[in-house]
Amino acid sequence: MLLELRRRLRYLFKGDESQKGYSADGMFLTGKNLAFLSEQRFSDAWEFSKAGNKSAWEAKRQEVPDVRFRIHTAIWAAERALNLRGDFVEFGVNAGFLSMAVCEYHHFQDVDRKFWLFDTYAGIPTDGLSPNELKKAEKANSRNYSDVFELAKRNFSRFPNAMLVRGNLPGTIDDVKIDSIAYLSIDLNSATYEKLSIDKVWDRVVTGAPIVLDDYAFAGCEDQNEMWNRFAHEHDQSILTLPTGQGLIIKR
């Protein structure tokens, strides 16, 4: 029965995506206008990111996941941020899935600001995690992560203002000078590290800046969801839950 359902879904979603739908990344969409998926500028950004991340996923014997809707969210948020003062920041980069597409789409090499890219570039650190977070981190490291620092450097080589910062957050934030933040993407796979990191930079995030939370509404990420809900309540913010699994804050 399950195999038959999958066969029918493949048939339903093949062909012209703007007409027939989209099935990927835990979403099954029909009856929506998805023309942006075939828009040339977006397609070029996606293919650039996909190619750059291919070897990282192949190292773990996995195919590159289709996260175009998440990339679409990040590109939209970055476009809004370009009208604000401040640098771009991403906490949790790996080989650069979202940020590569953002840089390519917005020709970031021509933008007069920096994109600070913070990561270990070798998976999730495990110091100071709760037993539950530690278990999830060890599983994720085994399944999804390897040392990709050299790959990430190649992936961003055409963007001289993309600054890779290697090491454990939040400590590495003190290693660089960031006065204000116009765009912030967070994907640390840990409520502990995400809380420590946002506390460190919150006062530097400018009013109106978008904050993209990659794990906010995914099953299995309830600790992150609860942490961000508390944070939003304490700081008089609201979080938009997206069908991509992301959360979106526009700082008041």
- Check residue 21 and give its pLDDT: 81
pLDDT 10s digits, 53-90: 999 999 888 999 999 999 999 999 999 999 999 999 99
- Check residue 18 and give its pLDDT: 46
Q: Which string of DSSP letters, residue by residue, matches 128-163?
A: T--HHHHHHHHHHHHHH----HHHHHHHTTT-TTEE
- Check residue 60 and give its pLDDT: 85
Of 12-21, 80-89, 106-115, 143-152, where does mean pLDDT reach its minimum? 12-21
Q: Which pLDDT band, with edges at 50, 70 and 90, does 183 fall under?
A: very high
pTM of the model: 0.91
Average pLDDT, integer, range 200-206? 98
- Check residue 7 and give its pLDDT: 54
- Euclidean distance between CA atoms 215 and 226, whole angstroms: 11
pLDDT 10s digits, 231-248: 999 999 999 999 999 999
pLDDT 10s digits, 8-19: 555 454 545 445
- Computed over every residue of the chain, the mean pLDDT equals 93
- Euclidean distance between CA atoms 30 and 19, whole angstroms: 8
Q: Are 86 and 209 in contact (CB under 8 A)?
A: yes
- Check residue 1 and give its pLDDT: 52
Ranges of H-type helices in the chain: 2-13, 17-20, 40-58, 68-81, 97-105, 131-144, 149-155, 191-201, 222-234
- Euclidean distance between CA atoms 100 and 53, whole angstroms: 9
Q: What domains lie within the chain, and their CATH numbers?
A: 40-250 (3.40.50.150)
Average pLDDT, integer, range 153-182? 98
pLDDT at 2 over 80: no
